[in-house]
Amino acid sequence: MNSSPSPRTADPPRPGPRASLQGLCPRCEEMFLYPVGAAPGKALECPHCHLTFQQSGEPEDPEAPVESCWVCGNEEFYEQKDFNRELGFMIVLISGLLVFLLMLLVNALVGILCLLGIALLDWVVYRMLTDVTVCYLCQSIYRGFPPSPRKRNFYLGYEEKYKTLRQSWLKQVLPEPEKKA
């Protein structure tokens, strides 16, 4: 018997203590993670090379959707599923191979059933993934914040605009090589 009840509870997005920022330092190109409340009121700094991000700082209200980037101050974001593309690609590749082998070694029907099972599993996993908010300019990823009430989907048309904006941001944030005084 397999009668698992499926309660239809809409999980409200829960912000708060687990919220964090994942950034990529433009100077040392290392990833860094900042939990909310780590350095309130202070400018953010790369923990690896200690580059300080001018115009940065934590938002006043970590329970609200991110409206202004902590790292670069940009105010345009998109939201996407918290999903590792490389991992996803590996999963697709491996499951494809598995289905192919099953079809070859067992029979086509088993392969097709397996394919359907994988598709269902993918769908379930996708539904379980949480949304993250991503800054268009510095590509910082915000986890654990509620999504914006206005839907912010990725807009490819911003790509060109932000290529230019990113260049000028980099100029601003990366200091000239210091001369020893």
Query: By CB under 5 A, is residue 75 in contact with Zn ion?
Result: no
Query: Segment 36-65, which members bind Zn ion (CB under 5 A)?
Result: 46, 48-49, 51
Nearest to Zn ion of 57, 88 (CB atom): 57
Lookup: tokens for 89: 């690609």
Torsion 74-76-79-80 (CA) sign = negative
In whole angstroms, how close is the CB of 139 to Zn ion at the nearest point? 7
- Give residue for tokens 């912000």: 15
The residues, any chain, with a CB within 8 Å of residue 96's CB and separated by 6 or more, are none
- What are 20's two structure tokens? 């964090």
- Please calculate the CA angle 160-162-140 and round it to the nearest 5 degrees: 135
Which residue from 19, 21, 137, 173 is in contact with Zn ion, where contact means CB under 5 A?
137
Size of the site for Zn ion (CB under 5 A): 15
Q: Which is nearer to Zn ion, 68 or 95 (CB)?
A: 68
Residues that bind Zn ion (CB under 5 A): 25, 27-28, 46, 48-49, 51, 69, 71-72, 74, 135, 137-138, 140
